[in-house]
Structure 1
Amino acid sequence: MSEPENVPPGVDLDKASPARLYDYYLGGKDNYPIDREAAERIRAVVPELEDIAWANRGFLQRAVHRLAALGIRQFIDVGAGLPTQNNTHQVAQAVDPAARVLYADNDPMVLAHARALLAGSPDTAAITADLREPEELLGQPAVRELIDFTQPVALLLVAVLHFIGDEDDPRGLIGRYLDALPPGSYLALSHGTADHQAPQALRVIDGVYSKATANAFFRTRDEIAGFFDGLELLPPHEGSAPGVAFSGDWGADDPESSDSDGSRWVYCGVARVP
């Protein structure tokens, strides 16, 4: 496990961070005691914590693979988090080695680790940026050098919008990103939900994230589905109707076996920009 003497510049050790908490949920090593203590408070009331994280991670990987199979060769992964197994560029470039991937996150630790991982890879880049500032993020030179905005792009907002409160207008933010993308682009999105979850668990999660570097704002299925308004949702799996699904269900070879307590904490979907 990383310890305080290894802290990159700009990292706040007085508060847990969503990126480092998620890293810990996935069994990673890029987290600190304050993150581990916070995560264990959640685990005490949400024993399926790792399942939640891995079900969401599986959605990301399956969504990227499906989009790459559909011919998408450019990906912007906003709120990418700390690098772990089978990252976006690895999934996309397994389909086409020339696929280009831009990672963005507002946590300085993410940039430090991502740059080390991506060193020597000309078709990937990582930037520090805030999801709430679409024009600034998309206007950064590294983005403009890597991404061709005349060609379709996949925008990945995976497990990040639940850190955006209503006062920051998440639907409006999505619209501002999509306005910059050409028709035929895609949005892949996942979001935590409080639907049917125990009030005690929700109180503990709220307490942990309210003291972290970002609060968590869980939303209902209908609210999450509303993020795709005006887009063409894909079916979560063969034989299903277009729509949102639990994270374990989307793209699963066997949706029944993929259903789990952890999966039911996250709704997700993939949609085409008409």
Structure 2
Amino acid sequence: MKMTTKNLFTVLVLMVVYAKANVIFEIINREPGPVWVGIQGNPGHPHLNGGGFVLNQGQVVTVSAPDNWAGRFWPRTWCDWNSKHCLTGDCGNKLECNGAGGVPPVTLVEITLKGWQGLDYYDISLVDGFNIRAFIEPVGGRGDGGQYSCTRINCMSDIDSKCPEELRVKHNGLTIACNSACNKFNTDQYCCRGAYNKPETCKSSTWPVNYPAFFKRECPDAYSYAYDDHKSTFTCRAGHYKIQFGA
């Protein structure tokens, strides 16, 4: 078909619209070894890059997402090339998770693009425990200038080295992750379920041991349990986010 000036203009407009309808996630590995990145889209959203890839030490990979995407990123560590099994964050012995989530304990980076009022909502969650350090940071975002708007969220404490002994996950004597109380003890109170399934009845300050207080002290920006306060959710409008694993 002959390309007319009108057709060419239409194609160019569509290309510009398409380009604007994507958000870039720049994912960085600062661990001393490889990290297998896991990606899971929320229901109705795609699993970007097949749901996972290898990120070698010092490597940076950019991932493109629709501008209304919602989902999570997480680091898988101590992974074996032959079995495809990872000792932390495993998604079923495969490189591309393709919809499968990561086995706790694992550090989660979560984001909802174009959520309520058109804002991006992003957080770091330690509700499922911790394996390695992470941060997420909007690049060139537009916000309201507030404390929780368009700022970097850090969880850069070496939690594994400080983890309570009863929550430690070990491999060959080395602590490789720190469990949540729910994952470790599986009680209704620690998991905020049953009679404890709402904020009024699930307060970590009333638990037998206030384990979320430990996680909150080490990473104040991050969610520490299911009904953590609102100060762990940040908002922005941005077309580019940096996510770093390791420090």
TM-score by length of 1: 0.27
Structure 1 or 2: more helix by fraction: 1
Higher share in strand:
2
